[in-house]
Amino acid sequence: MLNQNKIKQFFKYCLFGGIVAIFEIIIFSVLLNFGLNYFFATPLSFIFAAIFNFILQRKFTFKNKYLKKHEQFTVFIIISIGGLIINWFITVSCINLFLINPIIAKITAILCALGYNYTLNKKITFGKMK
């Protein structure tokens, strides 16, 4: 059963994740405008967003004080690679198969990866590594 703290934590995750998503979409758009193909713009924008996301989620959502930040960051990035695969697959599929606008495809992919990222980071990155 969900309690008030879990709902508040998920809301914070979504809030800061939303900020990161906007950041990611801006980077994605800039890369596209500079002529980079969406096939490559997707992972590049995701990498920048993952770093920013780690900082925000660690400090504000999970208020984590684990001293070995580099270890925790490594776990976060490994989980993020799974999110990147989901993100990339959905972005590319939406564009190539369904002819969806790249920005709309990117937003769709971010939303689809949300549950995966939240669950694993809550349980592993910020749960077991306290």
Query: What is the pLDDT at residue 2?
Result: 65
d(CA 100, CA 91): 9
- Could you tell me the residue range of the domain that residue 44 belongs to? 4-128
Number of domains in the chain: 1
pTM: 0.84
Residues sharing a CB contact under 8 Å with residue 55, sequence separation 6 or more, in sequence order:
none
pLDDT 10s digits, 83-126: 989 988 999 999 999 999 999 998 999 899 998 999 999 999 99
Report the chain's mean pLDDT, rounded to a whole number. Answer: 91
Side-chain-facing half-sphere of 76: CA atoms under 13 Å:
25
> What would the mean pLDDT of 67-75 be, rounded to a whole number?
92
- Whether 122 and 104 have beta carbons less than 8 Å apart is answered as no
